[in-house]
Each structure stands twice: as structure tokens, then as C-alpha cells.
Amino acid sequence: MTGTAEWKRLFSGAFRPFFLLAAVWMAGSILVWVPFYMGHAALPTAFAPRDWHVHAMLFGGVPAIIAGFTLTAVSSWTGRPTIAGRPLAILVLIWLAGRVAVSVSALIGPIAAAAIDLAFPLALAATLGREVALSGNWRNMRVVGLLLLLALADAAFHVEATERGLADVSIRAALSAVLTLILLMGGRITPAFTRNWLKMRRESRLPAPFDRFDAVAMAISGLAFISWTVAPTWTGTAVVLALAGVLTAARLTRWRGLATRSEPLLLVLHVAMATIAVGFVIEALAILWPEVIDPMAALHLWTAGSVGLTVLGVMTRVSRGHTGRPLTAGRLELAIYALVSFGALLRMAAPYTGDAYIHVLACAGILWAAAFLTFAIGYAGILAGPRADGRV
């Protein structure tokens, strides 16, 4: 009976299985990729080591975390019942099948691998789209649209990798879609969580509500991502990226992030959003002065830094909040945030370390993987266990 109860709890909310499995996948895939990249291990995948690594992150782990968050939040958006039980288990199995298919794509063929892999983002978009449509809450269709863009980038990734040997444009398109989703959703939850936290402390100065300035900043950011995707070395792209960075930074100053410095569970969301703003500027500088700023170092500020901090910040907060635990960070959360931050910094520094590059790269990967492994181990009991407040 106990085992059955635990399985029912695990599939009682999307954040439970998806956060746990995504954390294990993110950690495991990095620990596999490092020796794979160095030539000390092999996978029966049709992808080159770099592409398998990128796909594992952007089209594997990140979409699972997006699923855990959006499928949990959609009931509050729409007022409809939480997606749980068998429908949730089927989505999890579809996601798992995609991870296996890509990793053994040399055995089953690229077409079969692509079809199995693409089933998950399409199923997720269809599930969310159905919930939003039935509720009539059309504003949240923007999230569904971004998921479909991510699915399109995934399809393009398979085509590029098969036809050219390495993916290129599709990687930038996928990262752009993920970062746009972070700016969209983070732009809603970060100031909202901050507002609630400050109200509890009877603060009178609260984050500014979403207004025309936020809309302009989002539009310029979207234009910058489009330009970077199709023309990553064009001077005009650098100009738009720099402008997007300035506007995004200005947008963040309206959210009172510094006021949250005593609560890391909230501060980490502000820091993650700030790294996107800094990433815009560094990417612009990498276009203008590539001999000084390594383009890959700039890219990894977004991937290892922005994406890593955001997903772990969201996973820790949602997991605690939806299991009836206090919304405050302890030593476990601080260790998670520190590990992913140091891993990101080392990954950015790696191109500048000369002969030590491969060793720095390995250390960065281990630290980054350790952050997700620490989450998986530390939160396994929380995600599979009952709510701390006794509620069902």
C-alpha cells in the first residue's frame, strides 16, 4: 500500500515527476557528456558529442522543467482541475522515450528518433493549449506559442544535424525561445512573488506592475533574439542586443530585487533575470570584438548561467510551495545555487584558460551537474512524499 500511495503522490502534480526526472537527466547527461566529449566514452547516437549535449539540455531537461512548471500553474491560470494521474504519467513516458530515442538514434535511425523526440513538446503544447482554450484564458496562449516554436527548433535541429553534421541556427533558435519564455514567465512571477513577500513585511514600495515599458522591452528582446538567430555576426544584431540588455536591466530595477537579498529563494530569480540582461550586452560585445570576448563564453552565460539559475530557482520554490513548506531557503538551496553559479562561471572562463581548457571544462561540468544532483537527492523525499502541512 505504501508504495502505491507514493506513486499516486508522485503523479498528483506535474512538478513532482518532471522536476525529479529532469534534475537526474540534467546531472546524468553532463556526467556522460564530459567523457563522451573527451573521447573516453561513446553513445550509439547519430549526433556529434556537442550536439547531443546541447540537445540533452535545451530539448531534454529544460522542456521537462517547463512541463513541471506550466502543467502545475495552468490550473491556477484556468480554474480547471490539475493534470495528474494517468494523463501525467503518459506525458512522462513520452518524455522518457524521447531521451532514449535521441541517445540511440544511430541504432533506430534519425527519422524514428526525431519522431519520438518531437512527440513530447507537441503533446505538451496540445495539453496546455486544450486547457487554455477550454477556460477561454487566451492570454496564456503565448506560452503555448513559445512551446510550438521550441518544437519547431527541435525539428530543425534534427534536420541540421543530419544534413550538415552539426546544428547551428536551430540551437540559437531554441535558446532564444527558452530565454523568451523565461523573460515572459519570469516577468510575471518574479515581481509577483516579490510583491507578496514585501507586503508580508509591510513594505510600501512594491514592484511596478506590467505596463507599456515592459511590453517595449519584451518586443526589443524578441527582435534581438530573432536577429541573433539569423545573423549572429552582423553589427546591427550587436546594436539590438545591447539595446535589449539595457531595457531588460531597466525593467529589472522596477522589481525591487535588492530588497529581497535576505531571502535567497526569491533573490535567485532576480539574479537569473539579471544574467539575461548581462548576456545581451556580452553577446553584443562578442560580435563587435570577437578577438577579446569569446562568443562561446558569452553564450554560456545564457545557457549555464541564466537557464541553470532560473530552472533551479523555480524548481526549489515551486517544490517547497506546492508541498506546504516554508518559502525560505536553507543550506540545501544555498548549496544548489552556489554550485550552479560556480559551474557557470568556470564554463564561461574555460575559453581563456589555454592548455588547461579541457580540465576547467570538466570541473565546470561536474559543478553544474552537482547542483542538479544535489536537488534530485535533497528533494526526492519532498517530491515523492506527502505535503508538510497535512493537506491532500
Is the pLDDT assigned to residue 7 strictly greater than 90?
Answer: no
One-letter amino acid for residue 197 of the chain: W
What is the rounded distance in angstroms from the CA atom of residue 55 to the CA atom of residue 100?
Answer: 12
Q: What is the DSSP string of 85-113?
A: HHHHHHHHHHHHHHHHHHHTHHHH-HHHH
Separation CA 98–CA 208 (nearest Å): 41
Is it the case that residue 217 has pLDDT exceeding 80? yes
pLDDT of residue 24: 97
pLDDT tens digits along 252-310: 999 999 999 999 999 999 999 999 999 999 999 999 999 899 888 888 999 999 999 99
Q: Cα separation of 140 and 321, whole Å?
A: 22
Half-sphere exposure of 118 (CA within 13 A, CB side): 18
pLDDT digits 0-9 by tens, 56-77 = 999 999 999 999 999 998 888 8
| Choice among 13-17, 42-46, 277-281, 305-309 with the minimum mean pLDDT | 42-46
Per-residue pLDDT of 139-170, as tens digits, reads: 888 889 989 999 999 999 999 999 988 889 99
pLDDT given for residue 392 in this prediction: 64
